[in-house]
Amino acid sequence: MFKNWLLLAGLVISLGSVAQPRLPEHYFWKKLDNGLEVVVIENHKVPLATIEIAVKNGAYTEGPEYSGLSHLFEHMFFKANRDYPDQAKFIKRTEELGMIWNGTTDVERVNYFFTFDKDSLHAGLLFMNAAIRFPIYRTEDMQKERPVVDGEFQRAESDPGFQLWLEVQKRCWGELVTRKNPIGVHEVINTATPEKMMIIKDKYYFPNNSLLVICGDVQHEDAFNRAAAIFGDWKSSGYNPHDKYPIPEFKPLVKTDYFVTESSIAQTPYFMFQWQGPDFRNDSAGTIVADVFSSALRLNSSKWQQALVDKGLATYADIGYTTNRFVGPIMMYALPNPAKMKECYEEIMRQISMMSSPDYFSDEQITTAKDILKRNDIRNKEKPSSLSSQLTYQWCSTSLNFYTDYINATQQVTREQLAAYARKYLTAQPFVGGIIINADMNKTFKPADYFKN
């Protein structure tokens, strides 16, 4: 039996016509005939294995009628399937295998992962195969899970920062906002049906739209053979789902949009500013520069931090950029001193106007920012079970080559590139700016008098 299984595995594995990607040491890649890419990461630190499947699905595939359903689909993954026809049997099997398991839904990726003893690799792959390929969407299961997913949404809404974030997204992305909001819309979540789950599955859940990662105390050839034997007969869609169901282009912001919103739970004012930043398709280099820029701005020695936090205009000030294949957002946050809100806002605007200057950062700050990114990368790779998720995010939103070259690329970023990035995406560019504030503070400090076009 075992020899026949290995023979079958050897017949199914194929590199196809896709070029071998660049990968770090101890990372191995193959592509099955059905289009499923498989990456094996050998890491023998602990006797565990992690398997993960990522699908190019998520908020960016969702029009208004499906908003939040990729997230619900992720929850239903851990319910009934062909081999385990109810959740009790599903959970019992995870306990038998000693699994730690979870899934996430983001803008451009949905992923599912299991970690278990290395000797359970074959059983774990069979378990993943049943869940990803043969789910059963029962009405009673969905009736139980819809409130769970909607409850996550309601908990998020209890945070004034989320309330502000959501309003900023609506104004930044317009009619395509559902394609940047993984958590969804209450009404859509609470009326979801098994039929809608099948529509999502039949659009995106194919091997040629998925990546399987096997990571841990494994041997790559053995892992490839097992993956091919188990997943090799998963039928390809025969087309690229993202060609058949193209993602619409996000419309550029044409003017700055300010708003002030009141919330009874906003105990302190909160500023948020958002720009439409680079995307991987059109400015992959810009996504690298964005990360170095953000890292430099976060330094305690930066002009930004010194002008806002050190001088008491804000208790917190930060910037972040999210790498996306389709227009990554640049997000700037500040918690202003309520008594100095106007001064804080004016200083933020002054700092933004200076960011495109080549001397905005010192040589030492640029070097330190790059070193922080390098150290963070080393730290993030210390836990073997997290390696797969780091890889699959980049596979969905960038590429495996981008993942491999990332840190080296950050070290090559120049002062001129940082200034050009700020000029292209921040300084004098349109943005959405929002304040969330409670009614008493709003009445006292009147931010709408100056927080406007």
What's residue 66's pLDDT? 97
Distance CA 408, CA 413 (A): 9
Q: How far is CA 63 from the centre of its chain?
A: 18
User: Is there a domain that residue 146 lies in?
Assistant: yes
Residues 181, 297, single domain; the answer is no
Q: Are the CB atoms for 315 and 309 separated by under 8 Å?
A: yes
Residues 290, 184, single domain; the answer is no
Distance CA 10, CA 163 (A): 53
Q: At 378, which helix (H) or strand (E)?
A: helix 363-380
User: Is there a domain that residue 252 lies in?
Assistant: no
Distance CA 371, CA 376 (A): 8
What's residue 11's pLDDT? 33
Indicate the average pLDDT of the chain. 94
| Of 238, 209, 228, 208, nearest in space to 35 by CA | 208
Distance CA 317, CA 295 (A): 13
Distance CA 235, CA 252 (A): 38
User: Is there a domain that residue 132 lies in?
Assistant: yes
- Final residue belonging to a domain, choices 244, 265, 292: 244
Residues across the chain: 453
Residues 347, 297, single domain; the answer is yes
Task: Give the residue-averaged pLDDT of 21-50.
Answer: 97
364 pLDDT above the threshold of 60: yes
Structural domain harbouring 231:
2-244
What's residue 161's pLDDT? 95
Residues 236, 268, single domain; the answer is no
Residues 279, 234, single domain; the answer is no
At 453, is the pLDDT very low, low, confident or very high (cuts 50, 70, 90)?
confident
63 pLDDT above the threshold of 60: yes
> For residue 158, what are its two tokens?
């209890």
At 19, is the pLDDT very low, low, confident or very high (cuts 50, 70, 90)?
confident
Q: Are the CB atoms for 36 and 235 separated by under 8 Å?
A: no
At 6, is the pLDDT very low, low, confident or very high (cuts 50, 70, 90)?
very low
Task: Give the residue-averaged pLDDT of 41-60.
Answer: 97
Residues 135, 207, single domain; the answer is yes
Task: Give the residue-averaged pLDDT of 54-69.
Answer: 97
Task: Give the residue-averaged pLDDT of 306-329.
Answer: 97
- Final residue belonging to a domain, choices 194, 215, 244: 244
User: Is there a domain that residue 144 lies in?
Assistant: yes
Residues 237, 277, single domain; the answer is no
User: Is there a domain that residue 249 lies in?
Assistant: no
At 18, is the pLDDT very low, low, confident or very high (cuts 50, 70, 90)?
low
* Domain total in the chain: 2
Task: Give the residue-averaged pLDDT of 79-85.
Answer: 94
User: Is there a domain that residue 322 lies in?
Assistant: yes
223 pLDDT above the threshold of 60: yes
3-state secondary structure of 88: helix
293 pLDDT above the threshold of 60: yes
pTM greater than the 0.75 cutoff: yes
Residues 266, 236, single domain; the answer is no
Residues 294, 237, single domain; the answer is no
Residues 376, 237, single domain; the answer is no
| Of 125, 168, 422, nearest in space to 271 by CA | 168
420 pLDDT above the threshold of 80: yes
343 pLDDT above the threshold of 80: yes
For residue 332, give Cα distances in angstroms to 18, 69, 187, 435: 39, 28, 30, 12
- Final residue belonging to a domain, choices 244, 268, 285: 244
CATH number of the domain encompassing residue 109: 3.30.830.10
At 17, is the pLDDT very low, low, confident or very high (cuts 50, 70, 90)?
very low
Percentage above 70 pLDDT, the chain: 96
Percentage above 90 pLDDT, the chain: 95
What's residue 5's pLDDT? 29
3-state secondary structure of 373: helix
7 pLDDT above the threshold of 70: no
Residues 211, 133, single domain; the answer is yes
Distance CA 167, CA 433 (A): 10
User: Is there a domain that residue 251 lies in?
Assistant: no
At 299, is the pLDDT very low, low, confident or very high (cuts 50, 70, 90)?
very high
Q: Are the CB atoms for 129 and 122 separated by under 8 Å?
A: no
User: Is there a domain that residue 250 lies in?
Assistant: no
Residues 165, 277, single domain; the answer is no
Distance CA 189, CA 148 (A): 10
Query: Residue 338: is it exposed, middle or buried by C-beta count within 10 angstroms (0-12/13-18/19+)?
Result: middle
